[in-house]
A = this chain, B = another copy of it.
């Protein structure tokens, strides 16, 4: 299972958003890759690079950020199973920095393999397209977050989104998960100052919505948080939207949540 680990993660992510045939899975199982480790706040790709492989995230968090490091606006966040630079297959020129938030393990997959599988299987080709589309949906949501919410709701919304995505890949237990962000990173993600990010977190604590201690986020009041953020997981297009019940652990939480979260008519 050790060698199949990368394949498993990727196949699971793809199956999340598109039907895969057995033949598709067999193709994916032959995926060649190399394992790489990175420390916290390292830069994997920089502006101008033209990589010939993609990064499949196996452990930790990655983000695209403007400029080199520290402080540059973060434009998107990736969790285990994601492939942040999938687009480089079709357009290798990189226009920002792909950086780690905390320690990270990635599988490097050659462009060649991805191009060939896409040309061999229309199912996989469509799955790749949908991965890109899902990515764009996240970007639009990030824009809405920055453009139309105050900082408290921005942070709350980001916490909700992260929790949902982690749960979808089975990486958030009960009501807690490892935070992708240091407070400065959170600030860079939400377009606020680091000092203000701190005060926002304190306010969330004060309202007894969550705890955020030493890189671990513990949500103590899901309904409150979701309501504050007006979080609607619809845009994530994750399986378990209709079956969202099994995503959240505590039954009473899910019952209350479906009551609060407005689904489109």
A interface vs B, CB < 8 Å? 47-48, 64, 66, 72-76, 87, 90-91, 93, 95-96, 119, 122, 126, 129-130, 132-133, 135-137, 139-140, 142-144, 146-148, 190-191, 234-235, 237, 264
Contacts and interface: CB of A to CB of B under 8 A. Distances in A.
10 contacts: A47-B264, A48-B264, A66-B148, A73-B147, A75-B143, A95-B137, A129-B129, A129-B132, A142-B143, A143-B146
Nearest to A122: B119
Nearest to A154: B147
Given A139-B140, A143-B139, A91 B191 contact: no
A130 B75 contact: no
A140 B264 CA distance: 27
A93 to B, nearest CB: 8
Q: How many copies does the complex hold?
A: 2
Q: Is the interface of A mostly helix, strand, loop or mixed?
A: helix
A27 B148 CA distance: 42
B148 A191 contact: yes
Given A87-B133, A91-B130, A133-B87, A75 B122 contact: no
A87 B191 CA distance: 28
Contacts of A47: 264
